[in-house]
Amino acid sequence: MPNFDFRVRFHLSQDTRINIDTEEQVIFEEADGKKLRIRSGGIGNPIKDFPDAAVIGGPYSSVEQAKEAVERVKAALLAWAVRQRVGIDFGDGRLRGVVTSTGIKMFEEMYKRPVRNDVHGVDIYEHKDGMVFVRMNAQFTLGKDPTTFVGQFSETFGQHPVLTEKQLLAFELYCASSFDVSLRSRLITLVTSIEAVLELAERSELDKAIVENMSELVRRSAMLAETKESFMGSLQWLKYESIRQSGRKLVKRLLGSRDYGGMSAERFFIYCYDLRSQILHTGKPEKASIDLLNVTNTLQEFVSALLIASLGMLVV
């Protein structure tokens, strides 16, 4: 029966290094003798020389055992990053700069060891002693048309735009979402950028009167002071429309009958807002079949159109 190893490669922010002077170091030994090792992002170079590294463990008797260990490794790395207040990127598991099968054979002859493509993120594979990971150091950039840049910049600048603080925050959040590698984080950031630009309207006088009656009941109740304060704070927000209601109205007014992801703009907003709530409450969408990559890419287009339309400009 085959055994399995795992490898979790991660990137730190460019100005961050783990100051280990060796290419590899044991960082944890489990009760059964399995050792977790951190390895440099460059063959033959110390860990401290690179912003990327990998944690490697195994062998495990099944893929399921390896997956369980991977989740523990990611949790430990995230906790370290938060404590140190640094960024950490586990990637999306896609191969980039792939070495072909011919290249793999060439490297195996060179190193006299088994060779495998280097995955940014999680990789679980059959155990082989002395495994080496290789990747092509090719970087790809997305060029933006300079004529379009000059035209759009001039158009906006010439209109003497003055963003409100809420609009400024919404635009900043939208731009920040491009640096979110995690699809869940990116979706939440994009939905939050919509929330930031909303102005919640007051409800009708009748609705507000009902809220006041409820507040009076709380004031007269025998609740603990802290609980009463919490209830009162929540009730005051009921005097305003919900984010769902305000968002739907704004989307309908600014984007009209446009379609996104096969849905009307209004319906797509509600769909993404509900997804955001599911992820925040349970860590994942309710339906495992949801293609978060496709949804998030469509949401990026949607939010871009909405924010530009909020400036009263032609959406392009």
| pLDDT tens digits along 79-95 | 888 778 787 888 765 55
Q: Name the least confident of 47-51, 54-58, 189-193, 200-204.
A: 200-204
Report pTM. Answer: 0.61
Mean pLDDT of the chain, nearest integer: 82
Ranked by mean pLDDT, which of 47-56, 154-163, 175-184, 236-245 comes out on top?
A: 47-56
Would you say 273 and 283 are in contact if contact means Cβ atoms under 8 Å apart? no
Percent of the chain with pLDDT over 70: 86
Ranked by mean pLDDT, which of 102-111, 150-159, 291-300 comes out on top?
A: 291-300
C-alpha 197/C-alpha 301 separation (Å) is: 16
List the chain domain ranges.
4-134, 146-200+243-310, 205-237
- Which residue has better confidence, 260 or 168? 260
C-alpha 284/C-alpha 293 separation (Å) is: 13
The gap between the terminal CA atoms of the chain, to the nearest Å, is 58
Across the range 173-198, mean pLDDT stands at 88
> How confident is the model at residue 13, as a pLDDT?
77
Confidence band for 20, pLDDT divided at 50, 70 and 90: very high
